[in-house]
Structures are given as structure tokens and as C-alpha cells.
Amino acid sequence: MLEARALTALREAGADEKSATATTRAMLHASRLGVDSHGIRLTSFYADSLRTGQVNANPVFKPHRTAAASAMLDADHGLGHAAAYAGMELACEIAKDSGIGAVGITHSTHYGAAGAYALAGAEAGFISLSTTNADSLVALHDGTARFHGTNPIAAAAPVPGQKPWLLDMATSAIPYNRILLFRSLQRELPPDVTADISGAPTRDPHLAEILTPLGGRDFGFKGAGLAGLVTILSAVLTGSTPDHLVVPMNPEDGNATRHDIGHFCLAIDPERFIGREGYDALITQYLAGLRASPGSAPDTPMLAPGDREWATMEEREMLGIPVDPTTAAFLKLI
Amino acid sequence: MLEARALTALREAGADEKSATATTRAMLHASRLGVDSHGIRLTSFYADSLRTGQVNANPVFKPHRTAAASAMLDADHGLGHAAAYAGMELACEIAKDSGIGAVGITHSTHYGAAGAYALAGAEAGFISLSTTNADSLVALHDGTARFHGTNPIAAAAPVPGQKPWLLDMATSAIPYNRILLFRSLQRELPPDVTADISGAPTRDPHLAEILTPLGGRDFGFKGAGLAGLVTILSAVLTGSTPDHLVVPMNPEDGNATRHDIGHFCLAIDPERFIGREGYDALITQYLAGLRASPGSAPDTPMLAPGDREWATMEEREMLGIPVDPTTAAFLKLI
């Protein structure tokens, strides 16, 4: 039902079939795994971006193999999801032949949860990485202005007989949506994660306008460095716009200037390194060791990246995906 | 002088020429750039490890191209530096042909500063990545025991007419050597970076035995996730030993059991993505924007990863590399 309504809403906003399908798939990935900030609630945002023309509703993709292990994909300013799934699929095909495959995606737009694409790669049997740059929201370490985007790093690895290992993290301490959530809850933010518009640290969600990089006051240079690595791979390498020059997607302003961000897809075939059998044994041994490692709550196993998300998915398969009232109204669910 | 004495000390401990040369080169990289924890002071540690036989003084490397873009290199339990330089060189050669190149190194040992190898790749014109796993010192998020190694991520990117962009970071909040330094200084550690042997947080350097992952109490799952990514790429993919099962290198105990860690090398040729000219223009524009971004200290430009290290290098080229008394005595400098 949710899927059908999201598809309809995107089609009605003009999206071609591949864009509507991929965007819905990526939003449902996020909603199923509990990443609600990037879930089905984004449908109206994407629909509005299509209607203002900032996002191309009928993009023509131009994948271009540049060498045995590399390719470029021009996303033609369409919704980023379709380009990112296509890019990861191509990276996996290349990796199958060449051991590793990298695809740079240029002229793209917001692609939702980075983990969706890394997961697609792991489900196909590859260790996978997906990164994207974004419009600036995050200060540099000791900086007082927005510079980097929240620039996520998503990585996934196949695990025999289990759900993949799955990491999907912003390189800022918290995502921007956390500020909005705390505003509506009237709750104080954690220390060291946001600043006001002048760059002064604040815990007041109504004053918070700038995110700080992962690592806080003492180690924020690490989060800022990782954000920079993401910009270099996603935008500089692919010929897209660096974060601080990206025109935000604010469809409510009617802005039709191209967003023009980039994504980077990497797939690695374990078959061409230690071999599948050796890889399967070692990833199983590593994760068994991790889950058996002692934690502060006795009798509660440690969680590997993704474990919490897979538990949420099981729960939501039984109880359904929670939909906020605004989104429910938009999707005509109520 | 420093270089000659380090070479001599390693040769006297039995190291073959390629091991002695590469290890000295990597230690001098760290000493020149101010990463003294991984600098020339490690000479006696490596010499002792060769003498106990835990490290093979005459390793035979077996690089093995597995596909158009991938290779494995068996380090034969030699000093990690020679294998890591050879692996990065091979990754660059592969990337030149195939757009991207990945080399998995197995059966290796401590390789010093990860940045040395990423830098070598960037100096050859490639965006480069070097990771290594290590024996366990770092707790999981909410964990109370050592599980991951300090598992660094080093990345570098060429910049036309400038020193490379260079990030070299442990995925723990602080490196283990920081504890030892604070012990000798009798100084309290920053909050949220270490725990005592039972896993309870402590700021007392004499009680600190476990490091906590980057991100602190609230966001340590990100540092732990990145450490896991490093283990998967460096050890699981390459058929080496996962961190929590690695036998430490403690030559003072006379332990001769193989260390058996792994490294991962990645090189990306910008020529096969946006092209060299486009890449050069964008990395220059990105870094100019970064350095001009406003910071808390007015009139002081923001630093890109590596900027502080390049400034230290200039300073040390004039003033020399500081050598602690123990190392100076070992190298017969005093």
C-alpha cells in the first residue's frame, strides 16, 4: 500500500518509471530499517523537487566504461536513487570481471539513505561502498560556518547465512533531521554537536543551524577529514559541484537551479582476494567474536553494524511502518 | 645521519635490504611530519622484533595478480613497511591501466604510519587509501573489553602545485601512545577516550588500558563501525587474522608467534573519471574554499588534512627532527 502510494505520488509529479521505482525502493529500504529521516516521508519533498523542475523527471543515463575497472555515469540531474542503484549494479558487474569496480556518478541529486546502495552491492555478494556529497550544513573543525555536507559513508559486506554487515553513517555527529526532531520535541540537543548561525556552540534546537563534524570539540578534525574524503570521491573525482557551492534542494522556494552533486560506488569481489570460502569463514569468525565481546549490559550481545536495523525490520514486518500524519495525508493513507 | 643510523640498526638486527630501506623510509615520513609516535623511535622495537624471530628478516614477497584490477601480496611475515610500499606501488600500476587498483596484503606485521603509503600513492598521481588491522586495544561501543585494533584509515589525494591532501587517522579517539605520553607527563586524559581494564571509563592514564572508539559516549558506534570496515578490508578480505585473535608484537616478552595482520591498498586514477584537468581544477577550488572558510580564530586560515603536517615538515627541515634520549642512545647519536 505504502509502496503503491509512493509510486503514484512520484509518477503524478512526472517521474519516469525508473526514477519512481528506484526512489520508492530506496525510501522503503530506509523506512523498513528504521531510518525514518530518509524514509517514505521524503516522498513529498521529491515530488515537489520534480514539480519545480530542479530535478529532471525523465533523465537519460549515460554510463561510460572508461577502463577495465572504472566507469562514469551522468545522472542527467534526475533523482539520485535510480542513478545510484544503476551505478552500484555496474560496479558489481565490473568487480565480477576485474576484482574491483568503481563508478563515479555526476550531475545527480539527493539520493536518500546511502546504505540502500551499499546493501544492494552486498546482497549481490560484494563488499560495497557508497558515498555522496551534499549541500553544506557541517562546519569544519574549529570552523564557524557551514562547509561540508553531512556526507555519509555507507559500507556493507556479505555474511553467509546472515543479513549483511551494514554501516551507514553521516560524517557529522548527528544528521540535520535530528535538529528538526528536537525542535518539535522541545528537547535540548547533546553537547558538541551543533552551533548557532554565528558558529557558537549551542544545545538549543531552535538556535542550532550548523552541525559539527563527528569527533566533537577534541577530535572533530577526524569527522571533517572523512567528510572531505567523501567530497573528493563523490564530487571532485566525478566532476560535480563541491559541497560549499552546491545550491540546496528547497522546492518550497521554487528554486530550479541544478543541485549537481555526485556519488561514488565501489564493489570488491572477495573471490579475487582470499577467495569466497576463506572470506566466508573469516567474516563469520569475526562477527561471532564481535557479538560475544563483553558489554556494559550483561547477557546482551554486542551489536554489529546493521544488527539494530535488521531487528527493526523484523519488528516492522509484523507491526508495519509508522507513518507521520503529514506524510499519511500526502499519500492519501488517511 | 638519522637515516643511516636507523638503516644500520635494522641491518644489524638481520633485516634484508628492502625491509631496512622501506622501514626507515616510513619511520622518517612519520618523524618528518611530526607523527613522532610512529617515527624513528620505533627502530628499537622493530630491531627487537626481528631478533626474537616474530618478524621474518628476509621475507620473500609473492605478488599475485588475480584480475584486471586486483592483486594479493603475501608479506611472508616480514616488516609491514616493505610490503605496504610494494602493495601501493602495485595498486598504482594497476590503476594506471584499469582506472582503479586494489591490493590485499596478508601475513604481515606492524607497518607504522598508514599515511606513508597513502602519500606514496598521491605522489604518484592517484587518490589513494591505505588501511591496516592491528591487535586489539579498542573497545566496541558500550563494550568493556578490547576488541578492535586502532585500525587507521589513511587517504591522500594529489593537488597540482601543492603538497597532497593527506588524512591519517586512527578509528579510536586517541592512539595508544597518547596514554603512555600522558603517563609520563602525569596528566589527566580527555574525557570519554579511555577505560580501565574492567571497561569502566577513566581519565587516569595509569589506569587506562582500553581505548574507546572515535565518537565518544554518544557516537562511538561510528568509530567502531569504521574500525570494523578496516578489519573487513585489511584482514577478512585478505585472509589474515581478525584483530581480537592477533598475537601482539611484544618483543620484550620474546614472543615468536606470528603477528599475521593484513593491509589494504587502493589507488584511483582521476584520469579515468572526470579527467586530470577537471580533477585538478576541482580539487584546487575545493581546497581554496576550505582554507577561506571562517574559523574561530580570525585571520587564521582553516587547515585541510595534512596542512599542519606539511608545516611541521618545513620547520623540521630547518631545525632537525627531535629525538628522545632513549632512541638517541639506541641509535648511538649521543
Summarised one tens digit per residue, pLDDT across range A64-78 is 999 999 999 999 999
In the block, residue with C-alpha cell 566533537: A216
Please answer yes or no on whether B274 and A237 come within 8 Å at the CB atom: yes
pLDDT for residue A16:
98
CA distance B316 to chain A (A): 23
User: How close B230 comes to chain A (CA, Å)?
Assistant: 11
Q: For testing the chain A interface, which of B73, B100, B153, B178 should be mutated: the one with the most A CBs within 10 Å? A: B100
Instruction: Tell me whether strands B162-169 and B153-159 are parallel, antiparallel or unpaired.
Output: antiparallel
Q: Residue B80 phi/psi, 5° resolution?
A: -65, -25
Q: Which of B232, B219, B154 is nearest to A282 (CA)?
A: B232
CA-nearest of B121, B268, B97 to A233 is: B268
Residue whose C-alpha is closest to residue A204's, from A212, A193, A214: A193
Beta strands B146-148 and B138-139 are antiparallel
Per-residue pLDDT of chain B (334 residues; tens, 9 = 90+): 899 999 999 999 999 999 999 999 999 999 999 999 999 999 999 999 999 999 999 999 989 999 999 999 999 999 999 999 999 999 999 999 999 999 999 999 999 999 999 999 999 999 999 999 999 999 999 999 999 999 999 999 999 999 999 999 999 999 888 898 899 889 999 998 999 999 999 999 999 999 999 998 889 999 999 999 999 999 999 999 999 999 999 888 878 899 999 999 999 999 999 999 999 999 999 999 999 999 988 888 999 999 999 999 999 999 999 999 999 999 999 8
**What is the SS3 string spanning B276-301?**
HHHHHHHHHHHHHHHHHCCECCCCCC
**Which cell goes with B37?**
609516535
Bridge partner list, B64: B72
DSSP summary character for residue B331: T
Size of interface A-B (CB pairs under 8 A): 255
- Per the CB < 8 A criterion, the answer to whether A282 and B187 are in contact is no
Report, as an integer, the average pLDDT of A137-157: 97
CB atoms within 10 A of CB B13: 20
Are B99 and A270 in contact (CB < 8 Å)? no
- Cα–Cα distance measured from residue B265 to residue B238, given in angstroms and rounded to the nearest whole number: 11
User: What one-letter code names the amino acid at A43?
Assistant: T
Cβ of A140 within 8 Å of Cβ of B302? The answer is yes
- Residue B311: CB partners within 8 Å, gap ≥ 6? none
Classified as helix, coil or strand, A279 is: helix
Give A69→chain B minimum CA distance, Å.
5
Distance CA A172, CA A139 (A): 9
Q: What is the pLDDT, as a whole number, of residue B212?
A: 96
* Residue B40, min C-alpha distance to chain A (Å): 25
For residue A106, which residues of chain B lie inside 8 Å, CB to CB? 274
Q: Give the residue carrying C-alpha cell 581480537.
A: B244
Provide CB contacts within 8 A for A267, sequence distance 6+: A88, A91, A92, A94, A95, A100, A101, A121, A124, A126, A127, A128, A129
Closest to B117 measured CA to CA, from B107, B105, B106? B105
- Of A74, A214, A87, A90, the closest CA to residue A152 belongs to A214
The Cα of B180 is separated from the nearest Cα of chain A by a number of Å equal to 19
Does the pLDDT value for residue A270 go beyond 90? Answer: yes
Q: Please indicate whether, in this complex, the C-beta atoms of B282 and A229 are within 8 angstroms of each other.
A: no
Contacts of A231 in chain B (CB under 8 A): 286
Contact flag A239-B274 (C-beta cutoff 8 Å): yes
Residue with cell 518550497: A252
Å from A32 to nearest chain B CA?
21
Taking 3-state DSSP, the helix, strand and coil percentages for chain A, each rounded to the nearest 5, stand at: 45, 20, 35
Residue A149's pLDDT is 98
Nearest CB to A302 within list B140, B286, B304: B140
Q: pLDDT tens digits for A114-131?
A: 999 999 999 999 999 999
Chain B partners of A101 at a C-beta cutoff of 8 Å? 69, 100
Pairing relationship of beta strands A70-74 and A100-108 according to DSSP bridges: parallel
Delimit the domains of chain B by residue range. Answer: 2-272
Neighbouring residues of B81: CB distance < 8 A, sequence distance ≥ 6: B19, B22, B23, B25, B26, B111, B112, B116
pLDDT tens for A293-302 read 999 888 889 9
pLDDT confidence of residue A236: 98
Look at residue A124 in the predicted model and tell me its pLDDT.
98
Cβ separation A222–B169 shorter than 8 A: yes
Q: Phi/psi at B198 (nearest 5 deg)?
A: -85, -5
Nearest CA distance, A334 vs chain B (angstrom): 37
Are the C-beta atoms of B75 and B58 separated by less than 8 Å? no
Q: Do B143 and A294 touch (CB under 8 A)?
A: yes
- B97 closest CB neighbour out of A68, A244, A302: A68
Contact (Cβ atoms closer than 8 angstroms) between residue A190 and residue A204: no
Name the closest residue on chain B to residue A104, using Cα atoms.
B273
Separation in Å, CA B247 to CA B151, B224, B235, B239: 15, 21, 14, 16
Of A99, A190, A294, the CB nearest to B68: A99
What pLDDT shows up at residue B300? 87
Summarize the confidence of residues A158-180 as an average pLDDT.
95
C-alpha B9/C-alpha B45 separation (Å) is: 11
Which one-letter amino acid corresponds to residue B268? I
Confidence of residue A328 (pLDDT cuts 50, 70, 90): very high
Q: Which of B157, B190, B237 sits opposite A268 (nearest CB)?
A: B237
Nearest to A175 by CA among A127, A110, A129: A110
Rounded CA separation A108/B150 (Å): 36
What integer is the mean pLDDT of A92-108? Answer: 98
Across the interface, of B99, B145, B235, the residue whose CB is closest to A66 is B99
| Closest residue in A to B105 (Cα–Cα) | A273
> What's the whole-model pTM score?
0.98
Cβ of B239 within 8 Å of Cβ of A273? The answer is yes
Residue A187 has a pLDDT of 95
The count of residues in chain A is 334
In CATH, the architecture of B2-272 is: 2-Layer Sandwich (3.30)
